Structure 1
Amino acid sequence: MSETLPTTFDPSQIEARWYAHWEENGLFRPERPDAQPFTIVNPPPNVTGSLHIGHALDNTLQDIVIRYERLRGKDALWVVGTDHAGIATQMVVERQLEERQDKRTNYSREDFVQKVWEWKAESGGQITRQLRRLGCSMDWSREQFTMDEHFSKAVIKTFVDLYNDGLIYRDKRLVNWDPKLKTAISDLEVEQQTIPGSFWHFRYPLADGVTLDNGQDYIEVATTRPETMLADMAVAVHPTDDRYASVVGGHVILPITGRRIAIVADEHADPELGSGAVKITPGHDFNDFEVGKRAGIAPADMLNMLDAEANVCQTADGLVPDEFLGLHRFAKDGVAGARELVVQRLKESGHLIPHVAKTKKGEEVEHDAEPRQIATPFGDRGGVVIEPWLTDQWYVDAAKLAEKPIAQVRSGEVEIVPKSWEKTFFNWMENIQPWCVSRQLWWGHQIPAWYDEDGNAYVAMSEEEAAEQAGGKALTRDPDVLDTWFSSALWPFATLGWPEKTDLLAKHYPNDLLVSGFDILFFWDARMLMAGNYNTGQAPWPRLYLHGLVRAADGAKMSKSKGNVVDPLGLIDQYGADALRFFMAAMESQGRDIKMDDRRVEGYRNFATKLWNATRFCQSNGIGASAQVAAPEARLAANQWIIGEVAQTVRALDAAMADLRFDAAANTIYHFVWDRFCDWYLELIKPVFAEGASKAAATETREVAGWALDQILVMLHPFMPFITEELWSKQGAVNGRERPDHPLITAKWPDPQASVSKDATDAIDWVIELTGNVRSAKNELGIPPGTRLAAHVADPSDVAARTIERSAAAIERLARITPISVGEAPAGPAMQVTAGADVFVIPLEGVIDIDAEKARLSKALEASQKEARSLEGRLSNASFVERAKPEAVEKARADHAHHAAEVERLTAALARLG
């Protein structure tokens, strides 16, 4: 033995060393030109980002898959890179300028963009270094960036092709507008927050002397955004609402502006809510926009009352009074905003309908508005309320591009795992809206469109081509950039060289699998399907795996404001990357979120330590690396048994990975390592190395045990790459079987190619079951584990008879029962244990005080039964389950399960005593 393992397993001592070795030696993508390809691409994280717990889950699952396929001999390529993250990156650089009392507008566009590139060179890409700490085996030699030159060409070509095919166009529509960043943002960048607000009721006077059937000369409307009435263009009522049937087609006269607007019938108005009439501001509300279009109002004619900073501007009809112009939509810096002034003026003119509330004493009190909690959209980066804003933007005809992906998922050509997400996918794709792809930023892919003095657009790959189209007219380029989701939609093929016909593209596109969080199913995954089919004629992958979220221990969503965010790097520092990775895999159950549990992570660190110590035991008995993939020849029952267990584990692991059941795969290898190999096999073979034992048996056992440990390291490697590589290398130093050029990361996946004796494996399984049941019975009755007990079996089965005859010493050592007598047991107190079909009677006279033990067990049973009944009553109370805190309900369920199990255990223990 040339090298032994240290006594203590310390992850920090091995992780950085092994990662550097893998990367420096090109082992993440070894040269395998003739091998079957297997390809995945990582969801490119923002270049401004840092590793959070969601990244840890997402990338761990991908790494498990890619390491598994690499071990199976495939040309496994994991494409890695980062997204230029338009808004986020521009904000980072602008903040740096602000710290120096500087700002973006002090620079030309070209100079500012150069500053962003300088920032990226110095500070960008922190997350890629952190992914290395997690053990991600990506092909860093081909790291991509969405603003790389070749990628940018792919983006511009896609835009131009879509435009030429009539699938991209410029239109006036509502967008999510961030008044702080002064750009349109995507739905993903909008956060809904529930905040205190108000609900105001107004009188809109009917025009032309018309009244409702009840004599009322106005229509009552209500709103949480009174300032928008400056741009109202209609009042909607439901077509079946008899209260308003006589005035549909008539008009009201808006207070303040005096604008005459139509009363329209539209199903958007709910007769059961409020007055049944709703004000319609198509230029500042997404629902109203659709109502306006149905009412025949063209988007170009819809009124806009706010500028880019959400200050009131004059509408196209010039009816907004001067006193409102320039006011911010909300109160700001102690100055009343448009909202406050609108309410004030409507109150003064008698058009405000006060809200009447009762005090605790029953007295009626009038207020201007009804207080309410209101769901309000905020920009996730700007931090201000988002304003639906009518602007000219570039749009993609997403409905047309969605047709083929819908058909592919319906036919099974593209599989979504878990299948339960298909319904959500179809619901969104079949009701998809035009996709706004322009952003009012400087950092990003500038839109390849140029305009002449008359506003005509020329879309081309370059300014020279656009000028040629324009016949020499002076042109100005569109200042907007493309939404980052537009460019990242090309990730599966542009990273492989598209539109050039590269060898890499031919071999690795389509990819084989995409692993993604469900939260970007529409923003990225669906758009990749659309872009892949449009640009290449093929879906980018045949299979999409959607994992859940990692939540706080109490099930709450993690957020900085709640202070419950978990830092994966902190967990790696404390427990090691392998333990965190294994936790992620073991807890990833299809269709469910993961609850963070540091104790489970610590438990998997203990699992790694268990394997470490098992390997030290092997080394101390001369058990080293195996020289073969197929199982060695074996005669001893224990060795045949472990070979059979390895083969069974490989089959179960392969089946779990084929179904993308990460939890099943992790638990399969966990229980094999801990239960079968460490707890049983190593115990079974200890006598083989005792003084005086057969040398032939010891030699065979060293071969089989070394082989079995090698198979463990290979099977466990995708989940725990660092400790397995370390043990693999150290095992190679035992008995002189050096393997420095045969690292585990590129080893061969297990292929036992062995048949074993069923008699031998049945015998070992029988001994294990007998031992486990005897230990449980002793524990139930408070008998010390090491106590040797006599046992009687009246009519042993064939396997029992053979095993008792051949392995009495093993039974005595493991189960601590001796002697075993064949025949009826003597009369007296005894307990029964089973192994298979065999029933063993174990006399207890003189072993324990039977009466005292019965009394103890009865008392404990009564207490657990009482507690279980109490908890069952509480849990069957709907009021408790619905109103109690979730953690209290969960604790009650856990306590009930514990006491129910105790009742079962104690009842069985009493039954053993007769």
Structure 2
Amino acid sequence: PACVALVAHPDDERYRPLFGQAVLTPLFRARVPVKAHPLADPEKGSGVAMICTFGDVTDVVWWRELDLPVRGVLQPNGTLRPVRWGEVGWESEDPAAAQAHYDQVAGLSVSKARTQIVEQLKEAGALIGDVRPIMHNVKFYEKGDRPLEIITSRQWFLKTMEFREALLARGRELRWHPEYMRTRYENWVTGLAGDWCISRQRFFGVPFPVWYPIGADGVVRFTEPLIPDESRLPLDPSTEVPEGYDPTQRDQPGGFAADPDIMDTWATSSLTPQIAARWEEDGDLFERLFPFDLRPQGHDIIRTWLFSTVLRAHLEHGSLPWTDAAISGWVLDPDRKKMSKSKGNVVTPFALLEEHGSDGARYWAAKGGPGADTAFDAGQMRVGRRLAIKLLNASKFILTKTEPRGEVTHTLDRGMLTTLSKLVDDATADLDSYNYTRALEHSEAFFWFFCDNYLELVKSRRYGDHGEAAAGSANSALLAALSTLLRLFAPFLPFVTEEVWSWWQSGSVHRATWPSSKELLTLSSGADDRGVMALEMAAMVLGDVRKKKSEEQRPMKTAARRVLVRDRADRIALIDDVRRDLMAAGLIERLDTASGEYGVDVELAEVVPGGAGT
């Protein structure tokens, strides 16, 4: 009874003469066209198929692409609904006979109705061949044991198909971070098979503010919606009444009926930029905010939230809703499976926050790059906590003695500030491109070098052991470095950086000006590439001295009686610029140099039982 057309492959010579003609269906004598479509399989059965609305998703494709009518017979309870043959949409060459046949299947389930139809075809002599069971793929509900059936119902839609090319263009206009995520959006838009159904049959949600008149015969006239004036919005049609009606007329003949549906989640959340900018409420604010700069979201909802938001902005404003989209990945469990409530593999964060701190947890999250799925790793949180504690301790050391201050003149200080200025430029560029993970990695690498080497090299000098001017240079460089590092780490370690900032600065670090390389280079009177090389050379030599002490299982406070550094002449010359700092940091009594291939010979002081080395 639901047949609306026959279809065969365009190249099938058996049916090519019938394309464009009409035939009559058996039993119901309905006139249906014969159509050509490439999805029809000439090798399957007779090569011609019935298009019923709807037997499967292929029927849906044929119905849509061949612009066919709908004859829906299934009810939500899975039985065939009553139909009156001869009415509009149910035309028949013999309405009485059609009705007689249909009345025998009305109210039956699909399987029982199918059996009854076979018997009727046999009785009418319209069945050719024997009935035999077949095996084919059908879709099942994940929690059921029966095949899914497609039913027809009234729904609300937003047009999307006719805007496909425009939506693809919007995708190319949007800046994606990472860029390859645009492919997911394009695949979704390209693969769209129908307009967007925005209505749902649930209780909780935003209702459609629409009513429909009910005729004197009790039939709801869905084609004549009653639309409220915009000044009445928002409203709930299930509790309010349309103009010209009173509450007693609800669901009564001659009265009205409320639209029973609510909007799909994405139909409402697709307007979050407009809602945040108070569209239609504050024109000035909306003009200043919309379109926004950024949408941060997960990659799994590109096809839903991102797509629907782009569509709504395109339809309503002729623009994108934001200029950039930063796409994050999933959190995975230790077995690298997506964490989800349904799988029961979610780790609640409260105990982790208590153990590792919010900065530790945020550090772990920031180590997962844009678009990348990130496995849960408490070890990374411990690393983040260690970094936060080290930042706290290094800050205490720097702020313990902030005077005297003076011009930054020492080679090591100028080299450190030059290196830091390059980090600021790199981190700024990384964050501008939403590569926050790389910005953190670069900042962290510099910070550990700064603590392990620079702080040790300048410790003696900043306490005044090398004179007031040398101490002033060290303190000014240290304070500038601390200010810069706190601001660089603030997005990743917000709590420890705010705490340290409050010790010596006013306001919040999160509202402070972002650091610039210019302020650092101004302090150091320009970039000093020689200073950078001198700092690296001093760190290498200091590392070799420490290595020697570790290999001999000697305390780091053990004196080095003599250290010989061999290297190229130009690099050996750098030693003179940092000699006093290097000797103080490594407890080196005598520092010699020689030309040759790089190497460091270390002679440690002898151990005196019960005393220090000698």
TM-score class, shorter: 0.7 to 0.9
1:577 partner SS: helix
Q: Where in structure 2 are the equivalents of 1:676-691 lying within 5 Å?
A: 676-688=449-461
Per the alignment, do residues 607 and 384 of structure 1 end up closer, same or farther by CA in structure 2, a change over 3 Å counting? Answer: farther
1:725 deviates by: 0.9
SS in 1 for 2:367: helix
- Contact kept, 8 Å, 1:623 with 1:702, in 2: the verdict is yes
Q: Is the 8 A contact 1:394 1:437 kept in 2?
A: yes
**Cα contact 1:448–1:461 (8 A) shared by 2:** no
Corresponding residue of 2:198? 437
| Contact 2:210–2:228, Cα closer than 8 Å, also in 1 | yes
Q: What's 2:612 paired with?
A: none
Check if 1:353 corresponds to 2:132. Answer: yes
CA contact (8 A) 1:792 1:841 kept: yes
Tell me by how many angstroms 1:278 deviates. Answer: 5.9
Q: Deviations over 1:711-731 (max 9, x none)?
A: 2111111111111111222x3
* Shift of residue 658, structure 1, vs aligned partner: 1.1
Matches within 5 A, 1:277-316: 280-294=51-65, 297-299=68-70, 302-307=71-76, 309-314=77-82
Cα pair 1:395 1:437 within 8 Å, conserved: yes
Normalised by the size of structure 2, how large is the TM-score? 0.75
Q: CA-atom RMSD, angstroms?
A: 4.5
Distance 1:443 1:763, change over 3 A: same
Q: CA deviation at 1:475?
A: 4.4
Report if the CA contact (8 A) 1:774-1:815 is conserved.
Answer: no
Structure 2 match to 1:389? 151
Aligned to 1:663: 437
- Deviation of 1:542 (Å): 1.8
CA deviation vs aligned residue, 1:570-599 (integer Å, no higher than 9, x gap): 43233222222222222124x432232222
2:374 to 594, 607, 627: 594
Q: Sort the Cα spacing of 1:305 and 1:614 in 2 relative to 1 into closer, same or farther, 3 A.
A: same
Report the CA distance shift for 1:339/1:444 in structure 2 as closer, same or farther (over 3 A): same
> Aligned to 2:346, what secondary structure does the other structure show?
coil
Residue in structure 1 matching 2:423, options 633, 639, 649:
649
1:748 aligned partner, one-letter code: T
Deviation of 1:510 after TM superposition, in Å, equals 1.9
Counterpart of 1:325 in structure 2 is: 107
Match of 2:169 in 1: 407
Paired with 1:547 and 1:745, the residues of 2 have a C-alpha distance of 23
Other-structure match for 2:181? 421
Cα distance in 2 between the residues matched to 1:798 and 1:394: 77
CA spacing shift, 1:240–1:536, aligned 2, 3 Å: closer
Q: Quote how far apart the aligned CAs of 1:395 are.
A: 1.8
* CA gap 1:657/1:258 in 2 versus in 1, 3 angstroms: same
Q: Per-residue deviation at 1:659? A: 0.9
Mapping for residues 158-237 of structure 1, pairs under 5 Å:
231=2, 236-237=7-8
Matches within 5 A, 1:33-112: none
User: How big is each residue's C-alpha offset from its partner over 1:266-324, in whole Å with a ceiling of 9 and x where there is no partner?
Assistant: 3223457798776644235333122134556313xx233232x4445346656567578
How many Å separate the matches in 1 of 2:243 and 2:438? Answer: 61
* Post-superposition offset of 1:654: 0.7
Q: Structure 1 pair 322/275, CA: closer, same or farther in 2 (3 Å)?
A: closer
The answer for the alignment partner of 1:870 in structure 2 is: none
Q: Contact (CA 8 Å) 2:567, 2:599: kept in 1 or not?
A: no
Alignment match of 2:270 (pick from 489, 493, 509): 489
Cα offset, 1:460, TM superposition: 3.7
User: Residue 719 of structure 1 is aligned with which of 476, 481, 492?
Assistant: 492
Question: Which structure exhibits the higher relative contact order, with contacts defined as CA atoms closer than 8 Å and separated by 6 or more residues?
Answer: 1
State whether structure 2 residue 595 is matched by structure 1 residue 820: no
Contact 2:415 2:530 in 1 (8 A): no
Distance 1:584-1:252 versus aligned 2 partners, 3 A rule: farther
Largest Rg, 1 or 2: 2
Per-residue deviation at 1:386? 6.5
Distance 1:325 1:420, change over 3 A: same
Q: 1:552 to 1:668 in 2, by over 3 A?
A: same
Give the structure 1 partner of residue 611 of structure 2. none
1:237 CA drift (Å): 4.3
Give the letter for the 1:840 counterpart.
G
1:807 to 572, 579, 599: 579
Q: Give the corresponding residue for 1:534.
A: 315
Q: Secondary structure at the match of 1:542?
A: strand
Deviations 1:362-390 (A, max 9, x none): xxxxxxx58x7x764559xx999875321
The separation in 2 between residues aligned to 1:270 and 1:811, in whole angstroms, is 86
Please give the secondary structure, in 2, of the residue aligned with 1:297.
coil
Matched, 1:451 2:212: yes
Matched, 1:639 2:413: yes
TM-score under structure 1 length normalisation: 0.52
Alignment partner, residue 760 of structure 1: 531
Q: 1:769 offset after TM fit, Å?
A: 3.3
Instruction: Report SS of the residue matched to 1:388.
Output: coil
Q: Secondary structure at the residue paired with 2:339?
A: coil
| Contact 1:510 1:539 (C-alpha < 8 Å) held by counterparts | yes
Say which SS state the counterpart of residue 587 (structure 1) adopts. Answer: coil
**TM-aligned CA distance change 1:806 to 1:727, over 3 Å:** closer
Q: In the alignment, which residue of structure 2 is the partner of 1:550?
A: 331
After superposition, what is the alpha-carbon deviation per residue over 1:410-436, rounded to whole angstroms, capped at 9, x for unaligned?
Answer: 4x3x32333323344334335543222
Q: How many residues align?
A: 550
The secondary structure found in structure 1 opposite 2:507 is coil
240-249 or 512-521: bigger deviation: 240-249
Change (3 A) 1:540 1:323: closer
Equivalent-residue separation in structure 2 for 1:345 and 1:814 (angstroms): 97
Structure 2 segments unaligned to the other structure (5+ residues): 86-98, 123-128, 216-220, 234-241, 246-253, 607-614
1:607 to 383, 387, 411: 387
Q: 1:576 maps to what in 2? A: 357
Distance 1:702 1:808 in 2: 17
Alignment CA distance shift 1:351-1:250 (3 Å): farther
Question: Structure 1 residue 633: deviation in Å?
Answer: 2.8
Query: What percent of counterpart residues are identical?
Result: 25
One-letter amino acid matched to 1:678: C
CA 818–563 in structure 1, closer or farther in 2 if over 3 Å, else same: farther
Q: Is the 8 A contact 1:395 1:438 kept in 2?
A: yes
Match status 1:268 vs 2:29 = no
Secondary structure of 1:748's counterpart equals coil
Q: 1:803: Cα distance to partner? A: 1.3
CA distance in 2, matches of 1:277, 1:566: 55
Q: 1:238 to 1:574 in 2, by over 3 A?
A: farther
- Check 1:636–1:530 CA distance in 2 against 1; reply closer, same or farther (3 A cut): same
Cα distance change on mapping 1:296 and 1:491 into 2, 3 Å: closer
Paired with 2:301 and 2:325, the residues of 1 have a C-alpha distance of 12
Confirm or deny: 8 A CA contact 1:282 1:291 kept in the other structure: no
- Describe the shift of the 1:280–1:507 C-alpha distance in structure 2 as closer, same or farther (beyond 3 A): same
**Are the aligned partners of 1:711 and 1:750 in contact in 2 as well (CA < 8 Å)?**
yes
Change (3 A) 1:342 1:239: same
Equivalents in 2 of 1:416, 1:561: separation in Å? 30
Q: Which residue of 1 aligns with 2:93?
A: none
In the alignment, the residues of structure 1 paired with residue 552 and residue 361 of structure 2 have an alpha-carbon distance, to the nearest angstrom, of 38
Letter in 2 for 1:606: R
1:795 to 1:662, Cα distance in 2 relative to 1, 3 A: closer
Distance 1:648 1:463 in 2: 57
1:461 offset after TM fit, Å?
2.6
Amino acid at match of 1:325: G
1:576 counterpart SS class: helix
Q: Which amino acid aligns with 1:420?
A: Y
2-structure distance, mates of 1:458, 1:378: 39
Secondary structure (helix, strand or coil) at the match of 2:152 reads strand
Please give the secondary structure, in 2, of the residue aligned with 1:389: coil
Query: Cα deviations across residues 94-131 of structure 1 (Å, max 9, x unaligned)?
Result: xxxxxxxxxxxxxxxxxxxxxxxxxxxxxxxxxxxxxx
CA contact (8 A) 2:546 2:586 kept: no
SS in 1 for 2:153: strand
Per-residue CA deviations over 1:740-772 (Å, capped at 9, x if unaligned) read x52222222223242243333321122123444
Rounded to whole Å, the distance in 2 between the matches of 1:378 and 1:552 is 24
Residue 548 of structure 1: how far off its partner (Å): 2.4
